[in-house]
Structure 1
């Protein structure tokens, strides 16, 4: 056999090793709290693979005790102490922020809420940050004419706007005039591990608890839930309603509670740090909001396997798979909410089935791991890794 025809030894190519540096992403927000957007941001920072993404955090204010308590300890954080955007302190803060960025050299700036975007986006472009992102996960129901004018002024400094639903994308394009190509949808995720080993709801019990996790703000419609509770209790005296959350409407809702004579059948728990613990004691979880983007509370209800009733706003119906994982009722329709509660009380097996289906769906499509991978992939593509 000639040398040319002799079999050649097999040569194995060395394993391919990723050598790209992690994408440097700076997140910027007013302050930290236990509200939905802030919770999602902190979870993202915590879960990001540091070999793929290197995060830093800028807090426009962040000087209050709660915000300081929630600060991540394993990444660079700067507090600027700015409570009013148009102030002398903001000028000093801008200089400090430039120095922070010179040190950490972010490739991406991701801003949350208006003031952080108004200060951060133009300054980032002046400092040469290539990719400036805004996050807007609501549907813009609260935007005034002044806000819309300022948003148009800000647009040249923003490369992409992130939102968590197709409805949010539609609102940005049709309502705010953001070009379609400059809007990216990245869905939220929930930490399903916090809700393991929850029993499915039992609506046949002598006492059935109806729970809601919400900030006490008008858009969350807790006053409407109180009126719903008043009507429901006349038909279903076995119910107890509980709301976990605090906010600007606390005094107003306390007065309404007394006016409606709800007594110990409707409890305003205030701020609750252990949401899984709260939901463990709930059989029916309700979301009565007038407007939502993708509700973090709804994802938590589903992860906990509760029997869910949600208003038909934002992404609620889609997340609940068109009603296969819970009941969807018209927003502001108290009678429909009462009837939905009655349906779950009359059909305990159906209520448990909704809980089981909801848990499966959130685990498959809306887990924290899935959300984090979506963002990691997005940042890598954005930075050309």
Structure 2
């Protein structure tokens, strides 16, 4: 079986989309598929030779340049001549360029959507609505993303397919030692320091819990300028309780030390951070936005709050701080859910099934 994957660019294997693409390519090659991989624009990583299959750099520039469209069409003709009948594309420009150019060469195109469309602009939406008529399927990583994709890009329901991200099994996660009364409960968040992540809400909530006598500490793992957040912690009198660790290549090492894991973003498609929390057996408090409510079941593996509800966030932190047995119960339920529903094998099997259906449809049409 042959499949071509095309991305705008491949930055590094730790990014959300890139990490899932890497798992998909490895899984397909292990199954014996012939995987062709190309990027519109090269990066240091895509040129490094570390990707599991060769990476072809197409050198595509602006969408407004006729040369970009001609380059993609020539690549489509080459794929078709080598027996490739299906292309799976990722990111914005490839989603515009590939569907019509591939179709001219007799190749079907699958697009991927992995967020709530924060990148949509009038220009992109108009282009996507035009070229979307040649899209054979759209793979979305949550029901919430599928809804926004269908509404925004005018794609019919029968072209929308939800395939959740896949994650390897961590095996047994060591149980943290029982905390004594003098030990602080460790609250943690993995998120880049951007306004959309609303980390200031979490700092304020921790400040409320501490003011009410809670023995808590907060760890923030993520890249960005922490100055404003550090100033807020000082203003609230909790500077000694809050630590900023910056961007980390393996945040799991920090997550293992969390007692309570939080994500209080304004918007999420399908949160890798929440899955990482649950894989490590941590109870989760998160905002009811995007695909979060598809992962976190209220009262079972965590709690859901509305965006900006600092009082609710503080209340749930206090509850979990005071009830270590509830933390263990919720953490265990979350880990079980990830193992059953979000494994790499499940993700790979669903992709293969869709690829095969579309290939069979193409063969029948011929």
Scaled by the length of structure 1, the TM-score of the pair is 0.82
Q: Out of 124, 133, 140, which is 2:110 matched to?
A: 133
Give 3-state SS (helix, strand or coil) of 1:140's partner: coil
How is 1:333-344 mapped onto 2 (pairs within 5 angstroms)? 333-344=309-320
Q: List runs of 5+ in structure 1 lacking aligned partners.
A: 1-21
Determine helix, strand or coil for the equivalent of 2:138: strand
* TM-superposition CA deviations, 1:208-252 (whole Å, max 9, x none): 222222233333222333333333333355322222222xxx23x
Shift of 1:67: 5.0
**1: CA distance, partners of 2:61 / 2:287:** 35
State how 1:182-197 maps to structure 2 within 5 Å.
182-193=159-170, 196-197=172-173
The aligned residue for residue 22 of structure 2 is 42
1:60 aligns to 2:33 (yes or no): no
In the alignment, structure 1 residue 32 sits paired with structure 2 residue 11: yes
C-alpha distance in structure 1 between counterparts of 2:87 and 2:259, whole Å: 41
2:134 equivalent to 1:157: yes
Deviation per residue, 1:330-371 (Å, 9 max, x gap): 121111111111000111100110001111111111111111
Q: 1:317 aligns with which of 293, 302, 314?
A: 293
What SS does structure 2 have at the residue aligned with 1:192?
A: coil
8 Å contact from structure 2 (residues 6, 40) kept in 1: no
Quick check: 1:122 aligned with 2:95? no
Select which of 37, 40, 51 maps to 1:72.
51
The CA deviation at 1:314 is 2.0
Q: Distance in 2 between matches of 1:367 and 1:70?
A: 27
1:143 alignment partner in structure 2 = 120
Check the 8 A contact 1:312/1:331 in 2, yes or no: yes
Q: For 1:254-293, what aligned pairs fall within 5 Å after superposition?
A: 254-261=227-234, 263-293=239-269
**8 Å Cα contact 2:214-2:318 kept in structure 1:** no
Structure 1 distance, partners of 2:346, 2:358, is: 18
Q: CA deviation at 1:118?
A: 2.0
d(CA) in 1 for partners of 2:103 and 2:50? 26
> What displacement does 1:181 show?
1.3
Greater RCO between the two (CA within 8 Å, min separation 6)?
A: 1
Q: Distance in 1 between matches of 2:335 and 2:275?
A: 9
Cα deviation for residue 378 of structure 1 reads: 1.6
Cα deviation code 1:129-176 (max 9, x no counterpart): 1x2011112222452333321221221231211112222222223343
User: 1:335–1:47: structure 2 CA closer, same or farther, 3 Å change rule?
Assistant: same
Change (3 A) 1:280 1:168: same
CA distance in 2, matches of 1:311, 1:336: 10
Cα offset for 1:38? 1.7
Residue 326 (1) aligns with residue 299 (2): no
Query: Which residue of the partner structure matches residue 199 of structure 1?
Result: 175
Q: How far apart are the structure 1 equivalents of 2:49 and 2:213?
A: 41
1:110 aligns with 2:88: yes
2-side partners of 1:280 and 1:151: how far apart? Answer: 41
- How far 1:306 sits from its partner (Å)? 0.7
Aligned residue for 1:138, secondary structure, equals coil
SS for the counterpart of 1:170 is helix
1:231 corresponds, among 199, 202, 208, to 208
Q: 2:73·2:105 contact (CA, 8 Å) conserved in 1?
A: no
Going from structure 1 to structure 2, the CA distance change for 1:382 and 1:57 (only over 3 Å counts) comes to: same
Distance in 2 separating the partners of 1:358 and 1:200: 16
CA distance in 2, matches of 1:204, 1:372: 43
- Of the structure 1 ranges 361-370 and 89-98, higher mean CA displacement relative to structure 2 is found in 89-98
Q: Among 4, 23, 37, which residue is 2:2 paired with?
A: 23
**1:270-301 Cα distance to aligned partner (Å, 9 max, x none):** 22111321211211111111111221111111
Q: Give the superposed CA RMSD.
A: 2.8
User: How far apart are the structure 1 equivalents of 2:188 and 2:343?
Assistant: 22
